[in-house]
Amino acid sequence: MASTTPTETPPAPPAASRRAASTGRVGDKVFLGLSRGSGILLLAIMASIAVFLSYRAALAISKDEGNFLTTFDWNPAGDPPVFGIAVLLFGTVVSSIIAMAIAVPIAVGIALFISHYAPRRIAAPLAYVVDLLAAVPSIIYGIWGALFLVPYLGGLNLWLDEYLGWTYIFDKTEVGVARSLFTVGILLAIMILPIVTSVSREVFLQVPRMNEEAALALGATRWEVIRMSVLPFGRSGVISASMLGLGRALGETMAVATVLSPSFLISLHILDPGGGTFAQNIAAKFDEANQFGRDALIASGLVLFVLTLLVNGAARLIIARRKEYSGANA
């Protein structure tokens, strides 16, 4: 009886060969060139922005008589010129942290309600309203914050001072209107809420239906399904959404400038009026500044640019590690 040899399956071509084979058509080559050119153009734009900011910042810092990182004053037109970013960095970071602490939990809760709890006749209009909030211009938020939040947050500030003043953070040492970093944080939270909610909602809707049905079949409650299936699956997406919101909070200009009373004093009491952020300071002082003053403002803009890059880089690193961890446990 003749022996038969099994037919050997040829090995799959490497990824590089498959990519090369996919570019045989003219359309594929054109699309590949456009995609590659877009990526290179984006890198070139980022590099040109960094070079411009670095050059103008170096001109200003070289003539600064103080310490650019620790000085609590902003007077580039003085003799000698003195300016620093300590107050601006503190105000930007603190207001963004307050906004994230308020917005992210609420946004995740709204996204879960729309995607897994609300009936369709309620979920669709609610999702539309949330998306519509993202289209509201920042100056509208600023006007609303100045005319509504500032007058009516006084009672909340007094309540926080009375019951949480022992934390030192909510200890209100100055009496005045609520033009503080706390008010700015609440306003920024409202502004970034639709961004975080929309992205998180779309991520939660991508959870495999079979995973949820299997958990329900095993007797899990709705909350246990969300805790064991939905939230782990969407963690990377929620982090990405949060970083998008944080990017807007860090660079928000007009709304902050409308609400905040600028002052170059650092106070750990976030209910006290005053403070400052990078974007608000640039918008308020750019028109009236001389050439050297604009270089000083550009130097502060460079710090904001670097801070934003660091935040986004950290987010990408966290997401990459989460994917590696999920792949290793799969």
For 102-156, write each residue's pLDDT tens digit.
999 999 999 999 988 888 889 889 999 988 888 899 899 999 998 888 888 877 8
d(CA 190, CA 99): 8
Question: Letter for the amino acid at 17?
Answer: S
- Nearest residue to 254 via CA among 139, 150, 140, 135: 139
Question: Letter for the amino acid at 13?
Answer: P
d(CA 284, CA 127): 36
- Nearest residue to 61 via CA among 292, 216, 307, 323: 292
H helix or E strand, kind and range, residue 118: none
Q: Which residue has the tokens 């008589």?
A: 65
Neighbour-count burial of 41, counting CB atoms closer than 10 A to its CB (0-12 exposed, 13-18 middle, 19+ buried): exposed
- Nearest residue to 281 via CA among 76, 6, 105: 76
Residue 301 near residue 253, CB atoms below 8 Å: no
| Structure-token pair, residue 304 | 């904001």
SS3 for 221? coil
So what's the pLDDT on residue 1? 45
Ordered by where they begin, the domains of the chain are 47-324 (1.10.3720.10)
Which residues of the chain carry a pLDDT beneath 70?
1-24, 173-177, 322-330
